[in-house]
Structure 1
Amino acid sequence: MSSSEDGNLPPRASSQDCLFSTPDEVDTEFDAILLHDMLVASVARSCRLTKRHAHAAAERPGFVPKTSVMKMLVARTPSQREAIIATYRTLYGRYLLQDIRANLGGIVGQGLITLLQPPAFRDAGWIRKAVTRVPTNENLLREVLCARNNKEIRDIHVAYKEMFARDLYRDIKTVCSGKFRDLLLKILRARRSEAPAEEVRAEEIARDLRLASINAYNGCDTEDEESNRDLFVDVFTKESVSQLRLVMEIYQKDFSEPVQDAIARTLTGHLMKAVKFTSLWAQSEAKYFAHLLHDALFPPLDERKSVRTLHSISSRTHSVSNIFHRAVCGLQLSLHAPSVQTVPEETTEVTVPGNLPLSPGSHKPPSCNKTFLIRIIMSRCDLDIDHVADEFELAFAVPLKTAFTERTEGDFRDLLSTACGF
């Protein structure tokens, strides 16, 4: 019996028709059936093939490459993806996310799982990874929490409680410290004003920020320094987005510098970076995510080196005594070794898009942060990825498509390009 004659199945259509149909024409039941054929049935067939027949099988109808899975899921709206997940569960008694994780795996599987998750659950999962890592991933906490509005923060609270049976506010209070913790806790209270901008009040705030930054630059006692930090934290966690935009416009106009310069003079460390993140997000979400994309594609050399060092130290299984013993032995060898004069080699500095310098003698920049890229692209592809791409090219004079071509490869590049519509 053909598929069209079976009353339980929709009329048979080609993979290309399904992948590129318009949103109004999407049949979520057929999508679920085709996804099952891609992820489960085709994998079962391929497992029975010898290497000699593998290439021929790839050309057979029904043996669908992972690129087709990407194109199908990216072409659907969030509500259609939710319907596909529910239909998949009803038809096969299986979870679509689990089948993607089992049969695709790797960075592509991670990207598609990120795409299929509801935004609040996606954010909650990232936050949980940040707070359970040792040491705590403050960069990820800043990236997620400093760029969310009140409703999104409340949704994250609910999702975090449902996923992990834990209280988000309490976990952040436990793992973070200092003024950075105070800022995150104020964001988590979701009490940012939503009132329209007021010009008179914006001028007062701009003057207060200017005075606080000058006092911090000239040096002040501990009490004044504390009040200066509190001022910046209160302004950027309580004022509405429209009010912050007006404050930053007035500050730029009156004092001929961006407010980010005042933030850098007054604050330090993770607190300074968090307030800067919030200011960039308030100015323009597209510009904010464009800068994050640049950091993910062209990570600074020193930052990548420090991350690798942290990971190597945390994964080391040697005892402290063994490390100390090796250090002492190395010192003794260096003391007894004959001195040799070395002539420094002449090196040429090589640059890549985004003015990222390469290390001497190296012809490749540090590898891009794939997980970081997945978080940004998959969270924005349904919202404003076109504007983010435009801001990226405007800020760094490199088209985002070109950056993908130069910094990524293979299925990962295909995933990012498909999500961006390239």
Structure 2
Amino acid sequence: MVFNLQTQVGATVRPYGNFDAAKDADDLATAIEVKGVDELTIINILTKRSNDQRQDIAFAYERKTKKKLDEKLKVALKGDLADVILGLLKTPAKYDAYELYQAMKGLGTTESTLTEILCSRTNEELHRITKTYKEGNNVIDYEQIDRDAKDLHDAMTTKKEKDFPRWISILTERSTPHLEKVFTRYRTYSPMEITETIKKSANGDLSDGLMDLVQCIQSKHKYFADKLIEAMKGKGTKEKLLTRIMVSRCEVDLFQIRREFKKKHGKSLHSAIADETKGDYQRALLSLCGGDDA
């Protein structure tokens, strides 16, 4: 089996050795049908397999039982644990699409342009937004960097109405390495950092959306560490946010996010999850977390 090394470097969930989809499917069938449901077996299998392996398990389960694994688990499990397990069973693209839909369906008609742009993007366009430079396509275009920096500045200063669509266009259609240089160049046109400009010029959902985009571009790991801190601070835990990050990043870069979390929060992500969650939901998240950096 050939693993994607780029994905594996920061992953806390990796392909399982000696993988047997048929056996896992059998074990899950037993765990689902047993009286009271064997949540621990379900957690131990699905949080310790890669997404590709989970898709194979779902296929083997349906072939064996003539029923869909996600539908059976939706009935068998409840609450936050169900959200984690059902999220793990979706492919990354389907999980992102589902989460976007859930986020958007309750919005009113006066939501920001950013929301409208994100809703109108095709899957291909969304992937293009986030992809990094490929080998042989990393030529630095300093003229384009300068144009983009000037456009970002002018969009906020030269017209009576601020040109937020121009900002959104630049921030979503350029690569991360390019935008990092644009943000540095921006200071030659503005006395403010780009984040300060956003705080001063935008409000509400638009401000939040632009800040999220910029902070994610500047440092994805710090961005997600901040979001995890946000999910678990104060009274009550934001389970949806916590679940979404843990499920979507565990096979990508959760190890680096863990390090940033410890650096910023003073305690490990593992410890924070242990303190702020409980029961089978806690066990599932700790398994995805992959270790304690205490």
Which band: TM-score by shorter chain? 0.7 to 0.9
Residue 368 of structure 1: how far off its partner (Å): 0.5
Q: Determine the C-alpha separation between the residues in 2 that align with 1:404 and 1:201.
A: 43
Gaps of 5+ in 1: 1-20, 47-63, 137-174, 299-364
Relative to 1, partners in 2 of residues 1:416 and 1:39: Cα closer, same or farther, differing over 3 Å? same
Residue 207 of structure 1: how far off its partner (Å): 4.3
| Equivalent position of 2:203 in the other structure | 268
Give yes or no for the alignment of 1:199 onto 2:142: yes
- The 5 Å alignment of 1:150-169 reads none
**TM-score by structure 2 length?**
0.80
Relative to 1, partners in 2 of residues 1:89 and 1:232: Cα closer, same or farther, differing over 3 Å? same
Q: Secondary structure at the match of 2:161?
A: helix
Q: Which has the larger radius of gyration?
A: 1
Q: Determine the C-alpha separation between the residues in 2 that align with 1:185 and 1:92.
A: 37
Q: Secondary structure at the match of 1:75?
A: coil
1:284-335 deviation digits (Å, cap 9, x = unpaired): 322222222122112xxxxxxxxxxxxxxxxxxxxxxxxxxxxxxxxxxxxx
| Equivalent position of 2:259 in the other structure | 390
Instruction: Check whether the contact 2:15–2:50 (CA below 8 A) recurs between aligned residues.
Output: no
Q: Determine the C-alpha separation between the residues in 2 that align with 1:242 and 1:187.
A: 22
Instruction: Check whether the contact 1:212–1:266 (CA below 8 A) recurs between aligned residues.
Output: no
| Equivalent position of 1:406 in the other structure | 275
| Equivalent position of 1:380 in the other structure | 249
| Equivalent position of 1:124 in the other structure | 97
Instruction: Check whether the contact 2:152–2:167 (CA below 8 A) recurs between aligned residues.
Output: yes
| Equivalent position of 1:347 in the other structure | none
1:110-140 deviation digits (Å, cap 9, x = unpaired): 210111111222222223323332x44xxxx
| Equivalent position of 2:114 in the other structure | 180
1:117-176 deviation digits (Å, cap 9, x = unpaired): 11222222223323332x44xxxxxxxxxxxxxxxxxxxxxxxxxxxxxxxxxxxxxx56
Give yes or no for the alignment of 1:236 onto 2:171: yes
RMSD: 2.9
Instruction: Check whether the contact 2:195–2:214 (CA below 8 A) recurs between aligned residues.
Output: yes
- The 5 Å alignment of 1:27-38 reads 27-38=20-31
Q: Determine the C-alpha separation between the residues in 1 that align with 2:148 and 2:54.
A: 44
* Partner amino acid, structure 1, of 2:118: L
**TM-score by structure 1 length?**
0.57
Q: Percent sequence identity over matched residues? A: 23
- The 5 Å alignment of 1:311-326 reads none
Instruction: Check whether the contact 1:74–1:419 (CA below 8 A) recurs between aligned residues.
Output: yes
How many pairs does the alignment contain? 269
Q: Determine the C-alpha separation between the residues in 1 that align with 2:188 and 2:18.
A: 51
| Equivalent position of 1:296 in the other structure | 231
Q: Determine the C-alpha separation between the residues in 2 that align with 1:238 and 1:251.
A: 17
